[in-house]
Amino acid sequence: MSRSNLSLPQQRRFGETSRTDTWWLVSLLVFLGFGAFIVYSTWAAFQGVNYFYGAQGAHYLSPFYSPLVFGQPGEPSMFGAMPAWMPLWVSPALFILWAPGGFRFTCYYYRGAYYKAFWADPVSCAVGEPRSCYRGEASMPLILQNIHRYFLYLALVFIVILAWDAWKGLWFIEGTGDQAREVFGLGVGSLVLIVNVVLLGGYTLGCHSLRHLIGGRLNLFSKHPIQKKSWECVTCLNKRHMVWAWLSLFWVGFTDFYVRMCCNGTWVDWRIF
């Protein structure tokens, strides 16, 4: 058998590749999609208004502001009005958004996607690297991404809170004064809130860290049937983690947008029953 002298690995210049497919397209879409979400969510978080729609007896709270730590009279806030000493630019969203934001920012899928799309390190498979050594996530600052498992615990709490918001979105106040009563109903906003928690649930419950937490430490699945079933469910969601990530990202932004449009009167919430 003949042998050729081939020195491995082959060194390429930054961006150099022999790939002929559109390998850059996915990174471009990630850059545009994730970038648009960051711009919109940052803008929405600093607005401090139009996050709770209570007209027509509805109870729609934007997920960017839930749980509502401080709010206006008539809003479902935990601690009443915003303290007077708080700077005007501080909005209620800033107290909570760091938790779901941190969860998404440290997600294993997003890390792989935005490392390529935002700072091209690595650029893509079989495309020249910007530097000759690869430090991975084993040193500062990227070693901090390991905090993801702790953000997971917070994200699970947020799913419960958003499920409660979706439930409250199914109840409408009818009548006034002493005649006022809560009735079960369904508006388009109710559906928007329900889809939001379903998609965020599918994303969160398919987390790689959760999969490890449930089944990663077991040697014999047959002795832990409940954990085995749970692990299979998480694995099922985990297989489509990227899809859940993008659908939930789009929909959580749309949910805020829907509530915002209803609040400022641009859209009218249609009551189905």
Q: Which one of 207, 214, 237, 263 is in contact with ligand FES (CB under 6 A)?
A: 207
CA–CA separation, 269 vs 190, rounded Å? Answer: 9
Tell which one of 34, 51, 109, 231 touches ligand FES (CB under 6 A).
109
Among 12, 208, 224, 228, binds ligand FES (CB under 6 A): 208
DSSP, residue by residue, 88-133: TT--GGGGTTHHHHHHHHT-HHHHHHHHHHHH-SS-STTS--SSS-
| Cα 48 off chain centre by | 20
Q: Which stretch binds ligand FES (CB under 6 A): 71-79, 93-101, 204-212, 252-260?
A: 204-212
Q: Which stretch binds ligand FES (CB under 6 A): 69-77, 107-115, 119-127, 128-136?
A: 107-115
**108 lines the binding site for ligand FES (CB under 6 A):** yes
Q: What angle do CA 38, 44, 48 make, to 5 degrees?
A: 145
In the complex, the smallest distance separating the C-beta of residue 30 from ligand FES, rounded to whole angstroms, is 14
**C-beta of 108: minimal distance to ligand FES in Å?**
4
Min separation Cβ 208 and ligand FES, Å: 4
**C-beta closer to ligand FES: residue 163 or 243:** 243
Q: Compute the Cα dihedral for 21, 24, 28, 34 and give only its sign.
A: positive
Count, residues near ligand FES per rule CB under 6 A: 8
Asked whether 181 and 175 are in contact (CB, 8 A), the reply is yes
Q: Does 252 bind ligand FES (CB under 6 A)?
A: no
Contact 258, 267 (CB under 8 A): yes
Q: Under the criterion CB under 6 A, does residue 115 sit at the interface with ligand FES?
A: no
Q: Is 248 in the site for ligand FES (CB under 6 A)?
A: no
- Interface with ligand FES includes 52 (CB under 6 A)? no
Contacts of 163 (CB under 8 A, 6+ apart): 197, 201
214 binding ligand FES? (CB under 6 A): no
Residue closest to 42 by CA, chosen among 97, 84, 96, 92: 97
Which spans of this chain sit near ligand FES (rule: CB under 6 A)?
Answer: 107-109, 148, 207-209, 241
